């Protein structure tokens, strides 16, 4: 009697040979494992987006930090005539999760007549305009955030067309930041400006995009 038969009759373990997997079965199993991993990643991303979004303060919460302009930048703004000035500065920020960081940033500054500016910006000063919790124009100067209020792209001044142009979706704005064309829901967003002991300072504010109202998302970049 063979050893396998003897084992079977004596109550010992019975070993059954398994057929090797076919290439189709291996491919199917590999596909299923990959699909499960991809699905897990999608679910994780779907959970992460609202969680991260919930950490961003809305509706004006938080406190702005003042960032000083250099003496050269301040002089360039004072000497400006009918062209905006690109003002570079270092933005320092710190929150509860990261150590203090210093990032190079810029804004656009204009020198303008207060009466003309107010007349050209009904979204800031017209009937029913949302209240801005600071002076949009100070000492005859206005500071614009460089972020387009449509979807957050960076716009720039065009000397030929004498307008601010957003390269992403074609929104255009006047010298005073009034919305002329394109999908943006409002004009350019002004930033606070002050002079303290001979030094010009601004507060960096990031506003919610794609809405006509100015809703503060954060006071840092």
Same domain, 211 and 134: yes
Closest CA to 187 of 168, 205, 162, 212: 212
For residue 213, the model assigns a pLDDT of 86
Contacts of 117 (CB under 8 A, 6+ apart): 136, 137, 142, 176
Same domain, 1 and 43: yes
pLDDT of 168 over the 80 cut: yes
pLDDT of 46 over the 50 cut: no
CA distance 57 to 144: 21
pLDDT of 45 over the 50 cut: no
Asked if the structure places residue 60 within a domain, the reply is: no
Domain count, the chain: 2
For residue 150, the model assigns a pLDDT of 93
Same domain, 101 and 36: no
Tens digit of each residue's pLDDT (9 = 90 or more) over 197-218: 888 999 888 889 988 888 888 8
Same domain, 100 and 189: yes
For residue 85, the model assigns a pLDDT of 95
Alpha helices in 55-180 (DSSP H): 71-78, 114-120, 122-125
For residue 6, the model assigns a pLDDT of 46
For residue 106, the model assigns a pLDDT of 92
Tens digit of each residue's pLDDT (9 = 90 or more) over 55-72: 334 444 445 678 888 999
Contacts of 131 (CB under 8 A, 6+ apart): none
Average pLDDT over residues 24-32: 64
Tens digit of each residue's pLDDT (9 = 90 or more) over 110-130: 999 999 999 999 888 888 776
Asked if the structure places residue 61 within a domain, the reply is: no
Q: Which domain holds residue 88?
A: 66-218
Other CB atoms within 10 A of residue 98 CB: 9
Same domain, 104 and 152: yes
Tens digit of each residue's pLDDT (9 = 90 or more) over 126-151: 887 766 778 889 999 999 999 999 98
Tens digit of each residue's pLDDT (9 = 90 or more) over 176-192: 999 999 999 999 999 99
Q: Is 213 exposed, middle or buried (0-12, 13-18, 19+ CB in 10 A)?
A: exposed
Asked if the structure places residue 125 within a domain, the reply is: yes
């Amino acid at each position: 009697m063979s050893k396998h038969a003897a084992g079977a009759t004596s109550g010992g373990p019975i070993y059954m040979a398994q057929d090797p997997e076919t290439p189709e079965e291996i491919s199917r199993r590999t596909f299923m494992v990959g699909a499960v991993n991809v699905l897990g990643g999608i679910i994780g991303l779907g959970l992460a987006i609202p969680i991260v979004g919930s950490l961003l303060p809305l509706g004006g919460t938080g406190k702005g930090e003042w960032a000083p302009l250099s003496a050269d930048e301040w002089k360039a703004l004072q000497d400006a005539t009918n062209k905006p000035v690109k003002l570079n500065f270092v933005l320092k920020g710190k929150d509860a999760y990261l150590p203090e960081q210093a990032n190079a940033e810029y804004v656009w500054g204009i020198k303008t007549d207060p009466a003309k500016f107010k007349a050209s910006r009904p979204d800031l000063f017209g009937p029913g305009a949302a209240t801005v919790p600071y002076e949009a124009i100070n000492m005859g100067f206005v500071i614009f955030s460089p972020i387009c209020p449509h979807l957050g792209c960076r716009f720039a001044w065009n000397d030929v067309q004498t307008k601010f142009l957003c390269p992403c979706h074609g929104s255009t704005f006047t010298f005073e930041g009034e919305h002329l064309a394109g999908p943006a829901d409002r004009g350019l967003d002004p930033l606070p400006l002050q002079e303290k002991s001979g030094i010009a300072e601004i507060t960096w504010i990031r506003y919610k995009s794609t809405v006509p109202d100015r809703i503060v998302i954060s006071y840092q970049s």
